[in-house]
Chains A and B, each alone.
Chain A
Amino acid sequence: MADAQLDAQGLASAVALARTDPAPARAAIAAIARDIQDHAGDPAFLHDFWSRPGTAAAAVSLASVLRTAKNAKQISQPSASDHQNVLTILASAAIPIGFSGTRAYLQFAQQVNDGLAAAGYPNATVAFRGSSVTGIRFRTGETVTEDNPPGDYDLAIADPDLFAQAKELGIQLRGGGTRTAPLNESDLDELGLSDLAEELNSGTGPKVSFMIYADQNAIDARGDNIVAPDSAAVTRYYDEQVQTAETDRTTEQLQAAEQAERQEQAEIAEEEAEAEAEAEAEAMAMEDDE
């Protein structure tokens, strides 16, 4: 899986490089996209790629990274092939079944991240487990699809402090002492997670259940999971969306100002020409009178 690791590292480097030197960055992104395309039928490779630290954070920057702007002027125009490369990479990302798209998924992830931070666990990592990841409902074997969404999102929270708190409270442990048993509403209250759970479960969408793990290794040991983007990744995504919108707005304003200036100059030139013509006509009339 060394290739996946190299691609993950390359993606993060390319995103950073795009701000100062777009040409080699877009070449690197194109190479990674080709590699991803070559491994389209290789879930182990894709899982390895996306599970590398920083990959998700780098990927959420990709949509706007090739639109790098400097002094309100776009210095790197994404081409059609740039767009295709970005789409190839993003399309290979895992989003749990049931979310309408990346935005809805990131909003949910941010809600969980914020709730955990408010509860005193800002460094907790969140992963999805269960049928929203595997596509199969546990025990029944029933296939989960977009039209038949999972009942619950099974969230695996990895945080050593939160796990230690669970142990101290006497919450039952499983997995050789690396995770808790499924938590009920009273357990969540004891852990200070009631507000988060109630917020997540207040809507009409899937309900959310929680289990606390000592670390990400303990989650990985239980099989497939999707690590949700952390707060920094989600914030960066939204910042760049705003930045892109502001750049577009600034560009539009500049273009409008330039257009207005050109029009004003044309009008002035026209007025000057008219005045000159009038003056010339008057002079000729005076000459005729004389």
Chain B
Amino acid sequence: MASQLPETGQGSVTRIYDFYGSPDADTKRVSDLIAAAVSVTFERRKSADRGEYFLAHDPAGSELVVERNEIEDEDGKFFKQPDYADSMTLLLAWHKAASEADAAAVLDRLRERLGPVDGLAFLRRRESTKPAAGA
């Protein structure tokens, strides 16, 4: 499967990252709810460092990652997002586009569609604009 992320032309590229949290610790259940709300199919993946997570791309080209907030390594348990320790499951939705307005519009629409997902709360947004690769 090739990347569904949109290619941007020369110039700059804006990436926007929206973080959501759910008190539900069952990441599979949360990903199923999100999948139903925004019509995506999540792929279950495993990483030694990141732990188990669920990855999906929506038709607009946004990427969605659902994962546990609390994981464990040799040092013990810790939260990936310690500022949001009430959120047992995290959703990171991000999109890149040639302009900030385009990226924001896509993620705003996604946020509206995620509204009905039980327990899922919007936490924060981060954005960055950089020269496009090869520009």
Seen from chain A, the residues whose Cβ lies within 8 Å of a Cβ on chain B are 129-131, 137-140, 150-152, 154, 172, 174-176, 181-182, 184-186, 189-190, 192, 194-195, 198, 201-204, 207, 209, 211, 222
Asked whether any CB of chain A lies closer than 8 Å to the CB of B63, the reply is: yes
Q: Is the interface of A mostly helix, strand, loop or mixed?
A: loop
Chain A residues contacting B46 (CB-CB under 8 Å) are 131, 137-138, 140, 150-152
Asked whether any CB of chain A lies closer than 8 Å to the CB of B20, the reply is: no
> A138 touching B48 by the CB < 8 A rule?
yes
Assuming the contacts A174-B73, A195-B133, asked whether A189 and B49 have C-beta atoms less than 8 A apart, the reply is no
> B80 touching A181 by the CB < 8 A rule?
yes
* Interface window among B1-9, B34-42, B106-114: B1-9
> B1 touching A204 by the CB < 8 A rule?
yes
Q: Which residue of A lies closest to B133 (CB)?
A: A195
> B92 touching A181 by the CB < 8 A rule?
no
> B50 touching A182 by the CB < 8 A rule?
yes
Chain B 89-106 against A: per-residue CB contact (8 Å), 1 yes, 0 no?
Answer: 000101000000000000
In angstroms, Cα B126 to Cα A198, docked, is 18
Assuming the contacts A138-B48, A198-B5, A204-B1, asked whether A186 and B94 have C-beta atoms less than 8 A apart, the reply is yes
CB < 8 Å: which of A130, A150, A202 contacts B49? Answer: A130
Chain B residues contacting A154 (CB-CB under 8 Å) are 47-50
Q: List 13 A-B contacts (CB under 8 A).
A: A130-B49, A138-B51, A152-B45, A152-B46, A175-B74, A176-B75, A184-B65, A185-B63, A186-B17, A195-B133, A198-B3, A209-B47, A209-B49
Assuming the contacts A152-B50, A189-B15, asked whether A174 and B78 have C-beta atoms less than 8 A apart, the reply is yes
CB contacts under 8 Å to A, within B21-68, are 45-52, 55, 63, 65
Asked whether any CB of chain A lies closer than 8 Å to the CB of B121, the reply is: no
Smallest beta-carbon distance B116→chain A, Å: 25
Smallest beta-carbon distance A183→chain B, Å: 8
> A181 touching B78 by the CB < 8 A rule?
yes
Assuming the contacts A172-B82, A186-B126, A189-B128, asked whether A151 and B15 have C-beta atoms less than 8 A apart, the reply is no
Q: Which residue of B lies closest to A195 (CB)?
A: B133
Q: Which residue of A lies closest to B4 (CB)?
A: A202
CB < 8 Å: which of B5, B73, B78, B80 contacts A184? Answer: B80
Asked whether any CB of chain A lies closer than 8 Å to the CB of B71, the reply is: yes
> A152 touching B133 by the CB < 8 A rule?
no
Chain B residues contacting A222 (CB-CB under 8 Å) are 74
CB < 8 Å: which of B17, B48, B50, B80 contacts A131? Answer: B48
The 8 closest A-B pairs by CB, nearest first: A130-B48, A151-B46, A202-B3, A152-B47, A138-B48, A186-B17, A182-B50, A182-B49
In angstroms, Cα B47 to Cα A202, docked, is 17
Smallest beta-carbon distance A178→chain B, Å: 11
Q: Which residue of B lies closest to A172 (CB)?
A: B82
CB < 8 Å: which of B1, B73, B92 contacts A186? Answer: B92
- Counting chain B CB atoms within 10 Å of each CB, the highest count among A139, A181, A195 belongs to A181
- Counting chain A CB atoms within 10 Å of each CB, the highest count among B2, B49, B80 belongs to B49
Extra contacts, 6 of them, besides A139-B52, A185-B63, A198-B5 (Cβ < 8 A), are A140-B46, A154-B49, A172-B82, A182-B49, A192-B130, A194-B15
Chain A residues contacting B63 (CB-CB under 8 Å) are 185
> B49 touching A129 by the CB < 8 A rule?
yes
In angstroms, Cα B51 to Cα A207, docked, is 13
In angstroms, Cα B15 to Cα A78, docked, is 54
> B94 touching A185 by the CB < 8 A rule?
yes
> B65 touching A185 by the CB < 8 A rule?
yes
In angstroms, Cα B45 to Cα A117, docked, is 28
> A182 touching B71 by the CB < 8 A rule?
yes
In angstroms, Cα B92 to Cα A202, docked, is 18
CB < 8 Å: which of B17, B49, B51, B78 contacts A185? Answer: B17
In angstroms, Cα B46 to Cα A207, docked, is 9
Chain B residues contacting A130 (CB-CB under 8 Å) are 47-49
